[in-house]
Amino acid sequence: MYIIIGLIILAVGVFMVVKTEAMLNAFGRIEFFERHLGSEGGSRLGYKFIGLLAIFIGFLIMTNMIGGFMTWLLGPLLRAGR
C-alpha cells in the first residue's frame, strides 16, 4: 500500500515540476512566492519547489522511511516538550 500511495504522490510532484505553466494557468499566481521569489517567475518557481517537496515525500512514503524522517525532523521539538 505504501508503494501505491508513494507513486501517486511522486506522480503528482513530477507533474507539478514538468507542467508548471499548466499549474499556473489552473490555479493562478501565489502572492507569497511572487513577493519572495522574484518579480515575474516567482509562482512558477514556487510550484516547482512544491513539486520537488512532493517528489521527496513520495519517495519517503514509497520506501517506508517517512516515520524515521519525521522522528529525525521533529525529534528536537519532541524532546524539548518533555
Chain-centre distance of CA 48, in angstroms? 8
pLDDT digits 0-9 by tens, 22-78: 999 999 888 888 888 876 778 889 999 999 999 999 999 999 999 999 999 998 888
What's 43's DSSP letter?
H
Instruction: Sketch the domain layout of the chain as residue ranges.
Output: 2-80
The whole-number pLDDT of residue 70 equals 92
pTM listed for this prediction: 0.84
Q: Please compute Rg for the chain using Cα positions.
A: 16
Q: Read off the amino acid at residue 68.
A: G
Element at 50 (helix H, strand E)? helix 42-62
The whole-number pLDDT of residue 40 equals 73
Helix 2-18, helix 20-27: angle, nearest 10: 90
The whole-number pLDDT of residue 81 equals 67
